[in-house]
């Protein structure tokens, strides 16, 4: 069967310069040819009992065509079964990056505008992301969210050190997928869900295409992203290079990023494809120091640390094998490996601490899909396994001068992670009703060996850490979906998730801190029920009620019962997170045209409105934090926006987010920072894209924090990180 998805088509004039572009004509010609071929194949198939046997019809590849400017926003959630991923009844959000005007220099606040509830704890350098969701876990380096690029983990170590220090350039991204509760059943640990950046694939409609984007902006911002892509003799290729740098609005807030990636796609036969990929990324980032509340009020531009730096490098190679055995039966297998290094130099007293963490890692993931029947009803089974290995030595030196990268050894650790999982889900379908039981079993081995530690006294102190833990975690889930027709669906899901101990909770790296004693993985149950749909080309919505029961959360306590009152990580308490989440997007121009009986494809203008909200009530109900509110759990996160398009010439967007005030630590106290909570704030961003000459030359520009909101969204135990005020960017994009 031939499936054609229409995304964008020129109006009467096609573009600013008039007429349909050559690239657009080629795509249309390609679609016409494919439709004709699909029709011929279908007519050649035999009928069975007077009806067409769908299984006997050859399924040709999905052809994506750019269609009407009236269709600005694509459907905000994925289909029920996406390749070998079972998404029936699972809450998910997908953002097609092309739906928004060009997003340069990693402006993730705009990229996440269509994702309800996702909270960004903002920093002004390029050393990773800080995200959490529904108040679950510390957003620091997104350590409670599983972050992936094309289904491959981005974190330093998916179990022992789940920090994210690499920003995927938005210029490389095709779409952003976000999976809630059942994410653990799809990908593995971390309780906040799974965020997957799906990057662009090689162009198949031309042997060669080149694109270059140059952007400049406030505080010395300069960014370039250059790409070549195409397909020659059935082999697709894509190579990109990116570089970004800026000075920041505070001294020692500068950063520089270099990176690139290559992809090769080999069509081995009609049913088999092989991908080879290589990614490289390096960044050097300043850290100007955090501020107390008093210092923030006096001078939010103040720099307290002039020499602190964080440097990150990551090199990864991957191979992806795809095979369709027959319609409805397919396999995707991935293997990857590489090395990441995180280096930091941080002032301490008159000297500095010099830390280095290395990660040598490798993994494999295989997923199988098989469609089968019960009577005349189609059923679908997905199953697979994941394996992962990581070796991670960690060292610290103590330097006499805060600007130097060398010193005397302080401590040395060896750390290892071995991780494996098997999983299976089946969709049992009876007419409009689908039932999906799921099971996943994860096995984790973690080892920590402390070679030496000069901060530990030889007598009277703790013993050096020697930890070897093996854990098996069974996870189950169950989903229900009811197709109401006309593109509407009722869904409900209950599933398990968990957070395993990390290296930092298992083994101490500071004086007067002792190893954890029998620390268990934190466990979570997710309950969600909702209604979603895309009943027309101009309307899509998703609304759900949710409850998360998160037990045995990790907390650091003072052991007053032991000599010296050392600190220790323990399973501290149980929290309940409940609320309402909803999203709505409307293509207003398409609605108006449909009401007047007009062909949306002939619309010169396009106007879309969208809004989403996450309303949350979160509280610890037992343990040492009982009656407290979890950190970074605002009562509401609201995002609004409007997108306007004139033919294929101009696109503009105005997006805003409104965040309620919330605590920055689980203790709900001010500490040495001098403030107990992060005040509520609202931020608006304006972006414009102008196609000067068909799709060859584009000008882009915008204002971030349009109304110059004075706010901060990131606080840690050593202070506040001010967010940047109003800033601008402008650039040019050329492709041929």
Report how far apart the first and last C-alpha atoms of the chain are (Å, whole number): 33
CA distances from residue 106 to 122, 280, 634 in whole angstroms, order as listed: 12, 17, 24
pLDDT per position as a tens digit, 386-432? 999 999 999 999 999 999 999 999 999 999 999 999 999 999 999 99
Q: Name the residue range of residue 37's domain.
A: 1-67
The distance from CA 704 to its chain's CA centroid, rounded to whole angstroms, is: 21
Class of residue 299 by CB neighbours under 10 A (exposed 0-12, middle 13-18, buried 19+): exposed
Does residue 58 share a domain with residue 18? yes
Does residue 249 share a domain with residue 329? yes
CA distances from residue 495 to 187, 549, 633 in whole angstroms, order as listed: 13, 11, 21
CA distances from residue 370 to 84, 88, 327, 436 in whole angstroms, order as listed: 9, 15, 9, 14
Q: Which helix (H) or strand (E) holds 267?
A: strand 255-269
How far is the C-alpha of 167 from the C-alpha of 154, rounded, in Å?
9
Q: List strand residue ranges (DSSP E) for 625-669, in order.
A: 636-646, 650-659, 662-663
Residue 10: what pLDDT? Answer: 37
Residue 591: what pLDDT? Answer: 67
Residue 99: what pLDDT? Answer: 87
Tell me whether strands 4-6 and 63-65 are parallel, antiparallel or unpaired.
parallel
Domain endpoint, select from 46, 67, 88: 67
How far is the C-alpha of 446 from the C-alpha of 339, rounded, in Å?
19
Q: Residue 50 has what DSSP assignment?
A: T
Closest CA to 318 of 80, 151, 548, 556: 151
Does residue 123 share a domain with residue 43? no
Residue 185: what pLDDT? Answer: 87
Does residue 656 share a domain with residue 560? yes
Q: Residue 45 has what DSSP assignment?
A: S
Residue 524: what pLDDT? Answer: 94
The residues with which 107 forms a beta bridge, in sequence order, are: none
The total of structural domains in the chain comes to: 2
Class of residue 373 by CB neighbours under 10 A (exposed 0-12, middle 13-18, buried 19+): exposed
Does residue 317 share a domain with residue 251? yes
Is 436 within 8 Å of 428 (Cβ atoms)? Answer: yes
Class of residue 341 by CB neighbours under 10 A (exposed 0-12, middle 13-18, buried 19+): middle
| Cβ atoms within 10 Å of 201's Cβ, excluding its own | 14
Show Cβ contacts of residue 142 under 8 Å, excluding neighbours closer than 6 positions: 128, 129, 130, 131, 132, 155, 162, 163, 164, 192, 195
How far is the C-alpha of 319 from the C-alpha of 268, rounded, in Å?
14
Question: Residues in the chain with pLDDT < 50?
Answer: 1-15, 17-70
Does residue 662 share a domain with residue 579? yes
How far is the C-alpha of 445 from the C-alpha of 468, rounded, in Å?
7
Q: What are phi and psi of 7, to 5 degrees?
A: -115, -40
Does residue 656 share a domain with residue 630? yes
Q: Which helix (H) or strand (E) holds 109?
A: helix 108-111
Does residue 112 share a domain with residue 18? no
Is 218 within 8 Å of 708 (Cβ atoms)? Answer: no
Is 559 within 8 Å of 567 (Cβ atoms)? Answer: yes
Residue that is written with structure tokens 């697979």 in the block: 384
Does residue 391 share a domain with residue 493? yes
Is 162 within 8 Å of 221 (Cβ atoms)? Answer: no
Q: Residue 99 has what DSSP assignment?
A: G
Q: What is the reported pTM?
A: 0.89
The domain spanning residue 664 has which CATH number? 2.40.170.20
Residue 457: what pLDDT? Answer: 67
Domain endpoint, select from 41, 67, 93: 67
Is 203 within 8 Å of 227 (Cβ atoms)? Answer: no
How far is the C-alpha of 115 from the C-alpha of 550, rounded, in Å?
22
Does residue 92 share a domain with residue 29? no
Does residue 556 share a domain with residue 520? yes
Does residue 167 share a domain with residue 29? no
Q: Strand, coil or helix: what is 249? A: coil
Is 657 within 8 Å of 680 (Cβ atoms)? Answer: no
The three-state DSSP-derived secondary structure of 64-83 is EECCCCCCCCCCCCCCCEEC
Q: Tokens standing for 224?
A: 């370039």
DSSP line for 284-315: EEE----B-HHHHHH-TT--S-SS-EEEEEEE
How far is the C-alpha of 556 from the C-alpha of 558, rounded, in Å?
7
DSSP line for 487-517: TEEEEEEEEEEEEPPPHHHHS--STTB---S
Domain endpoint, select from 12, 45, 67: 67
- What angle (nearest 5°) sits at the alpha carbon of residue 719, between those of residues 715 and 724? 65
Residue 2: what pLDDT? Answer: 37
How far is the C-alpha of 286 from the C-alpha of 517, rounded, in Å?
36
Q: Residue 600 has what DSSP assignment?
A: G
How far is the C-alpha of 725 from the C-alpha of 614, rounded, in Å?
25
How far is the C-alpha of 469 from the C-alpha of 447, rounded, in Å?
6
Q: Exposure pattern of 658-687 as b/e (b: 16+ CB <10 Å)? A: bbbebbbbbebeebebebbbbeebebbbbb
Closest CA to 685 of 99, 97, 73, 109: 109
CA distances from residue 415 to 106, 130, 183, 461, 500 in whole angstroms, order as listed: 32, 24, 27, 22, 15
CA atoms within 13 A on the CB side of 365: 18
Residue 175: what pLDDT? Answer: 94
- What angle (nearest 5°) sits at the alpha carbon of residue 167, between those of residues 338 and 123? 135
């Amino acid at each position: 069967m031939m499936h054609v998805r229409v995304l964008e088509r020129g109006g009467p004039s096609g573009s600013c310069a008039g007429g349909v572009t050559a690239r657009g004509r080629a795509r249309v010609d390609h679609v016409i040819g494919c439709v004709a071929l699909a029709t011929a194949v279908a007519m050649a198939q035999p009928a069975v009992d007077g009806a067409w046997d769908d299984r006997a019809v050859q399924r040709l590849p999905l052809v994506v065509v750019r269609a009407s400017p009236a269709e600005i926003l694509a459907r905000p959630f994925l289909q029920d079964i996406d390749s070998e991923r079972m998404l029936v009844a699972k809450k998910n959000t997908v953002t097609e990056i092309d739906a928004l005007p060009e997003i340069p220099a990693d402006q993730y606040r705009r990229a996440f505008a269509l994702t309800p509830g996702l909270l960004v704890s903002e920093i002004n350098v390029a050393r990773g992301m800080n995200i959490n969701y529904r108040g679950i876990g510390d957003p620091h380096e997104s350590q409670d969210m599983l972050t992936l690029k094309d289904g491959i983990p981005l974190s330093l170590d998916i179990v022992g050190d789940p920090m994210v220090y690499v920003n995927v350039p938005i210029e490389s991204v095709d779409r952003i997928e976000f999976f809630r509760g059942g994410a653990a059943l799809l990908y593995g640990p971390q309780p906040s869900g799974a965020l997957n950046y799906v990057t662009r694939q090689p162009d198949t409609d031309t042997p060669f295409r080149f694109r270059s984007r140059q952007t400049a902006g406030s505080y010395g911002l300069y960014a370039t992203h250059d790409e070549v892509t195409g397909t020659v003799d059935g082999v697709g290729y894509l190579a990109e290079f990116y570089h970004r740098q800026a000075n920041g609005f505070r001294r020692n807030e500068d950063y520089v990023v270099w990176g690139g990636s290559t992809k090769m796609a080999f069509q081995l036969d009609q049913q088999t494809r092989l991908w080879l990929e290589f990614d490289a990324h390096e960044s050097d980032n300043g850290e100007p120091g955090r501020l107390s509340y008093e210092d923030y009020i006096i001078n939010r531009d103040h720099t307290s640390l002039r020499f602190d730096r964080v440097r990150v490098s990551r090199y990864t190679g991957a191979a992806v094998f795809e095979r369709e055995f027959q319609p409805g039966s397919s396999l995707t297998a991935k293997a990857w490996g590489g090395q990441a290094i995180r280096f930091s130099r941080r002032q301490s007293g008159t000297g500095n601490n010099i830390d280095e963490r290395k990660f040598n890692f490798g993994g494999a993931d295989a997923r199988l899909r098989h469609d089968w029947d019960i009577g005349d009803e189609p059923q679908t089974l997905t199953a697979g396994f994941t394996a992962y290995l990581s070796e991670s030595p960690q060292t610290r030196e103590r330097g006499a001068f805060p600007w130097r990268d060398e010193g005397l050894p302080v401590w040395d650790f060896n750390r290892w992670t071995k991780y494996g999982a098997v999983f299976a889900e089946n969709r049992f379908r009876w007419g409009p009703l689908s039932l999906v039981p799921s099971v996943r079993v994860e096995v984790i081995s973690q080892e920590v060996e402390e070679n030496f530690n000069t901060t530990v006294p030889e007598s009277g102190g703790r013993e050096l850490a020697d930890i070897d833990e093996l854990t098996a975690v069974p996870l189950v889930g169950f989903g229900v979906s009811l197709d109401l027709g006309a593109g509407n669906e009722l869904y409900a899901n209950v599933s398990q998730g968990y957070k395993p101990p990390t290296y930092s909770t298992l083994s101490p790296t500071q004086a007067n801190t002792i190893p954890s004693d029998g620390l268990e993985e934190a466990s979570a149950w997710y309950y969600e029920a909702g209604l979603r749909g895309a009943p027309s080309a101009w309307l899509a919505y998703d609304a759900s009620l949710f409850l998360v029961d998160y037990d045995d959360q990790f907390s650091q306590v003072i052991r007053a019962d032991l000599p010296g009152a050392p600190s220790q990580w323990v399973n501290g308490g149980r929290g309940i997170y409940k609320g309402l989440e909803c999203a709505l997007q409307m293509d207003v121009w398409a609605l108006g045209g449909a009401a007047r009986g007009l062909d949306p494809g002939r619309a010169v203008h396009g106007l879309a409105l969208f809004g989403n909200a996450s309303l949350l009530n979160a509280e610890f109900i037992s343990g040492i934090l009982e009656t407290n509110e979890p950190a970074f759990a605002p009562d509401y996160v609201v995002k609004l926006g409007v997108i306007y398009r004139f033919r294929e010439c101009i696109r503009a967007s105005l997006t805003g987010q409104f965040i309620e005030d919330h605590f920055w630590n689980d203790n709900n106290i001010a500490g040495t920072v001098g403030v107990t909570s992060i005040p509520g704030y609202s931020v608006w961003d304006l972006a414009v894209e102008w196609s000067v000459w068909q799709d060859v030359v584009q000008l882009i520009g915008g204002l971030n924090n349009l109304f110059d909101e004075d706010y901060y969204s990131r606080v840690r135990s050593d202070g506040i990180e001010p967010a940047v005020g109003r800033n601008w960017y402008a650039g040019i994009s050329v492709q041929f």
